[in-house]
């Protein structure tokens, strides 16, 4: 075997430029695939974690009749006495945070500008609001006893041409189907870099939200954060009480998880196409080598080298090209993913339905993707090299010696 490797290296070194370009094709192909896989993984994981942190939590407890799409404020569709349920949930060891929230549809008006928003009543002191408190860019955050202040996104403020301290009118739905209109003062502006949230979600203390929507002592949901998200199913089973539905983060983010499965299926096809193109370069290199070394192959066969050994020689040459290309490709792909993992790249507001995407996507290269793509690249290259190897092995010694 060592002799074959030595001969294969010598043969590749004969035309060094062609060999380097062939290995480079594999390197660029693998680096491209690693980058694509990292971007896909970053998009899916980023969207999922953003949704959990900013919207769904790991678990939500809702009234059995509550339908999220309708954002109903009828008392029968809400969780009554949410503080009692929160106290019960907090006794579960795996629970990190539990907090009530009230969701309502509203319209925010300022002068000649108006826009539809989602009003969320929150407990300002809850740790679950950390992503919003840490995103403060102007003014100050809410306090539990604030009866006239709201907290809105910077892009929404720009759209309405308002700033901290300005007064705006809020029209909100109530539990009996009426619409109330009340003036509020903008206490602070936040920027989570998630356009879907920043442009359409406003916050006010839960007590005030309950008062304005006439949903006293009721909440739309209890949002729960866990110490370990893998414990979602067991914690959901541990929450006692009739008339409730307990939704896990998997259930609330089905669109994201389903899209991930579909994307992984399509990406396999893309991987094979890219690798097939790069493998074609290897095949072309070896076929040219076969025709250039026809007389040499004839001599080897004439002195007793068997066909399978000639075939193995070309497969070893393909293996050396593949190993060299894969090694460089791994380094190049890792460096590219490292850069985009740190700085990301800006995508703005693409308005993807069912996703909470930030304005940047960060590459996330996993060990699984790296190993999988490395193996696939090696296998595809070796399989593709079988054709020129078989051509070389089937050459008749007499014809090969005459250079035919």
Give Cα separations from 38 to 7, 187, 371 (angstroms). 38, 39, 13
Task: Retrieve residue 358's tokens.
Answer: 């930030």
pLDDT of residue 261: 76
Spell out the per-residue pLDDT of the chain, length 404, in tens. Answer: 666 677 666 766 677 787 788 888 889 989 999 999 998 888 888 888 888 888 889 999 999 888 776 778 888 889 999 999 999 999 999 999 999 999 999 999 988 888 999 999 999 999 999 999 999 999 999 999 999 999 999 999 999 999 999 999 999 988 888 889 999 999 999 999 888 889 999 999 999 999 999 998 999 999 999 999 989 999 998 887 778 899 998 888 888 878 777 777 777 888 878 888 887 887 777 777 666 666 666 666 666 667 677 777 778 878 888 889 899 999 999 999 999 988 887 776 665 445 667 777 889 998 988 998 999 888 888 888 887 777 666 665 555 455 54
Question: Coil, strand, or helix at residue 294?
Answer: helix
- Note whether 270 and 373 are within 8 A (CB): no
Q: Which of 143, 132, 214, 200 is closest to 172 using CA atoms?
A: 214
- Note whether 4 and 316 are within 8 A (CB): yes
DSSP code per residue over 127-143? GGGHHHHTTEEEE----
pLDDT of residue 76: 87
What does the mean pLDDT of the chain come to?
84
What is the C-alpha separation between 248 and 131, in angstroms, rounded?
A: 20
Estimate the crossing angle of helix 367-384 against helix 386-394, to 10 degrees.
Answer: 30
What is the C-alpha separation between 206 and 268, in angstroms, rounded?
A: 47
Question: Coil, strand, or helix at residue 69?
Answer: helix
Beta pairing, strands 201-205 & 113-122: parallel
What is the C-alpha separation between 33 and 323, in angstroms, rounded?
A: 16
Where in 49-94 does DSSP place strands (E)? 59-63, 79-80
Question: Coil, strand, or helix at residue 303?
Answer: coil
Q: Which of 227, 256, 202 is closest to 57 using CA atoms?
A: 227
Task: Retrieve residue 264's tokens.
Answer: 């992984």
Estimate the crossing angle of helix 367-384 against helix 307-343, to 10 degrees.
Answer: 150
Give the CA dihedral 381, 382, 385, 391, nearest 10 degrees. Answer: -170
What is the C-alpha separation between 300 and 355, in angstroms, rounded?
A: 62
pLDDT digits (tens, 9 = 90+) for 144-180: 999 999 999 999 999 999 999 999 999 998 888 888 9
pLDDT of residue 223: 95
227-245 burial: b if 16+ Cβ within 10 Å, else e: eebebbeebbeebeeeeee
What is the C-alpha separation between 188 and 150, in angstroms, rounded?
A: 7
pLDDT of residue 352: 47
pLDDT of residue 182: 92
Q: Which residues pair with 149 in a beta bridge?
A: 185
Where in 211-313 does DSSP place strands (E)? 218-219, 221-226, 244-248
- Note whether 62 and 244 are within 8 A (CB): yes
pTM, entire model: 0.75
CB atoms inside a 10 Å sphere around CB 262:
10
pLDDT of residue 20: 84
Give Cα separations from 341 to 37, 41, 194 (angstroms). 12, 11, 18
Indicate if the alpha-carbon torsion angle 52, 54, 59, 63 is positive or negative. Answer: negative
What is the C-alpha separation between 94 and 49, in angstroms, rounded?
A: 19
- Note whether 38 and 364 are within 8 A (CB): yes
């Amino acid at each position: 075997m060592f002799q074959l490797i030595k001969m294969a290296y010598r043969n590749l070194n004969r035309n060094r430029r062609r060999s380097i370009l062939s290995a480079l094709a594999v390197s660029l192909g693998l680096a491209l695939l690693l980058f694509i896989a990292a971007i896909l993984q970053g998009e899916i994981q980023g969207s999922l974690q953003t949704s959990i942190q900013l919207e769904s939590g790991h678990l939500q407890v809702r009234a059995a009749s509550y339908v999220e799409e309708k954002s109903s404020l009828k008392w029968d569709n809400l969780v009554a006495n949410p503080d009692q349920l929160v106290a019960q949930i907090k006794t579960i060891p795996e629970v990190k945070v539990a907090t009530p929230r009230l969701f309502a549809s509203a319209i925010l008006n300022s002068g000649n500008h108006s826009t539809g928003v989602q009003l969320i009543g929150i407990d300002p002191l809850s740790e679950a609001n950390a992503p919003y408190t840490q995103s403060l860019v102007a003014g100050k955050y809410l306090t539990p006893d604030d009866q006239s202040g709201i907290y809105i996104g910077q892009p929404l403020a720009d759209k309405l041409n308002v700033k901290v301290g300005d007064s705006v009118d809020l029209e909100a739905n109530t539990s009996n189907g009426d619409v109330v209109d009340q003036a509020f003062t903008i206490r602070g502006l936040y920027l989570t870099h998630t356009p879907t949230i920043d442009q359409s979600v406003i916050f006010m203390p839960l007590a005030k939200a309950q008062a304005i929507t006439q949903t006293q002592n009721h909440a739309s949901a209890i949002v729960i954060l866990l110490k370990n998200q893998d414990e979602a199913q067991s914690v959901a089973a541990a929450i006692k009480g009739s008339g409730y539905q307990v939704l896990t983060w998997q259930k609330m983010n089905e669109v994201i998880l389903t899209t991930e499965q579909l994307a992984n299926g399509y990406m396999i096809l893309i991987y094979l196409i890219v690798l097939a193109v790069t493998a074609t370069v290897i095949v072309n290199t070896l076929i040219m080598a076969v025709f250039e070394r026809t007389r040499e192959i004839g001599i080897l066969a004439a002195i007793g080298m068997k066909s399978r050994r000639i075939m193995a020689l070309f497969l070893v040459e393909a293996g050396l090209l593949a190993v060299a290309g894969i090694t460089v490709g791994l380094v190049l792909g890792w460096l590219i993913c490292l850069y985009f993992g740190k700085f990301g790249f800006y995508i703005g507001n693409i308005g993807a339905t069912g996703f909470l995407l930030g304005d940047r996507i960060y590459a996330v290269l996993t060990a699984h993707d790296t190993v999988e793509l490395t193996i696939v690249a090696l296998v595809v290259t070796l399989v593709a090299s079988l054709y020129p190897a078989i051509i070389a092995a089937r050459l008749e010694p007499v014809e090969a010696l005459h250079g035919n």
